[in-house]
Amino acid sequence: MKVYAKVFATLVQHLSGTVLNAYPEGVRAGFLLEVELPEGSTVADLVAYLGLPKEEVRITFVNGKAQELGYCLSPGDQVGIFPPIGGG
């Protein structure tokens, strides 16, 4: 199934080579990635496929709603993946 992911902030530097090879023009934070995953995949499966360190993923949104890593994805879902966010 095809899903879409946007990886934000420092997580972009962890994207796997397989993902980066699909985008020779380069990838930056917030870039929309098209990903093919098996039916029944979860947000955690997407994080692993992208090569992101699970311990650095703090917030995930699926179609604009906060979801846990165990959330089961559907074809066409759009997933936003964020690290811890700091500020002052």
Predicted local confidence at residue 60, as pLDDT: 98
Q: Could you read off the pLDDT of 70-85 as tens digits, one per residue? A: 999 999 999 999 999 7
All structural domains of the chain: 2-82 (3.10.20.30)
**DSSP for the chain, written as a single string:** -EEEEEE-GGGGGG--HHHHHT-TT---TTPEEEEE--TT-BHHHHHHHHT--GGG--EEEETTEE--TTPBP-TT-EEEEE------
| Average of per-residue pLDDT values in the chain | 93
Question: What is this structure's pTM?
Answer: 0.93
Q: Could you read off the pLDDT of 2-13 as tens digits, one per residue? A: 999 999 999 999
Predicted local confidence at residue 86, as pLDDT: 62
